[in-house]
Amino acid sequence: MEGPQLADRQLTAALWFVNHRIVLRRILIITLIVIAAAFWGYVIFAVARDIFQLQTRRASELELLGSGASISDHVQAAAPQEIGLAGVETLVSGEVTDVIVRLQNLNPVWRARFRYTIGMGGENLVARDGFLLPGEERLFFNSFRGGRGTPDFRLEQVAWFRVAARQTPDIAAFTEERLRFDVQNTAFVSAQSGDRGAVDRAKFSITNKTAYGFFEPKFLVLLYRGERLVGVQSTVLDQFKSGATREVEVSWFDRVGAVSRVEVIPEIDIFDPSVYMRLE
């Protein structure tokens, strides 16, 4: 029974093919024409694009030659600008002198790591590690008890790292979402005159509103009297998890005097993966 049924199906298929042979041939021809048209269309587009880019590139080369600038000039223009020294100042509180250095990174897409020393009166100091985020201006300081002499600042071993646009297309948004700390209830408590053992203190609460936990984030604490900076200190928080709030006190063992404002600034190299805690 299966033999005759198979033969009938084959015969039916053969008859269908014969009856539709012309239509199938036309379909095949149209398909090949479409494929060929698409191929040659892409070829024409690619050639036209290359010709246009060649003209643009040629115009740029002529402009470069006409300007008299050399290739080395353009390479130098693309390189990061040097770290700027915005100022050096000293703050004296009792027997302690703080030497404060303000550094600027004017490069919007370059971050810097370096070694620096801040001294006074020729005192030799161990170099510290520092960094600046793209476009950042920040102060660096060192404290000297009984310090006298001229402040000295040295910057060395500067290494530049370009922030890849593919990985970080919006540096401002990247920075904002990783440095989103909410500082509340700032207060300065001055030690009472004649109160032995009492110290001046800055108090504040800080909440980590980022989506990241940090192992040992560092914060600068600045004291102002009006617009004048009168005190500087730093503090490190241990394992500051996302969403956590900490109550923080920072002490000054020498009298600062009147303070009208307390400012807290994060000092975290957000481009360094080692500063982040593992997500739980």
CA 164/CA 94 separation, integer angstroms? 47
Per-residue pLDDT for 44 more than 70? yes
Per-residue pLDDT for 101 more than 80? yes
**What's the average model confidence in pLDDT over 244-267?**
94
Is the domain spanning 169-280 CATH 2.60.40? The answer is yes
Per-residue pLDDT for 274 more than 60? yes
Report phi then psi at 213, rounded to 5: -100, 145
In Å, what is the CA distance from 195 to each residue of 123, 198, 260?
34, 6, 22
Nearest to 85 by CA among 31, 152, 146: 152
Average pLDDT, the chain: 86
**What's the average model confidence in pLDDT over 10-35?**
81
Q: What is the pLDDT of residues 146-204, one digit of tens each?
A: 767 888 899 999 999 999 999 999 999 999 999 999 999 999 998 875 565 668 999 99
Q: Which tokens go with 57?
A: 């590139």
pLDDT at 148: 74
Q: What is the pLDDT of residues 48-71, one digit of tens each?
A: 777 777 766 676 666 656 655 555
pLDDT at 260: 95
CATH code for the structural domain at 80-163: 2.60.40.3230
State the pTM of this model: 0.71
Residues 8/11/12/15 CA torsion (nearest 10 deg): -160
Q: Which tokens go with 92?
A: 């004296």
**What's the average model confidence in pLDDT over 235-250?**
97
- Residue 66 CB-half CA count within 13 A: 6
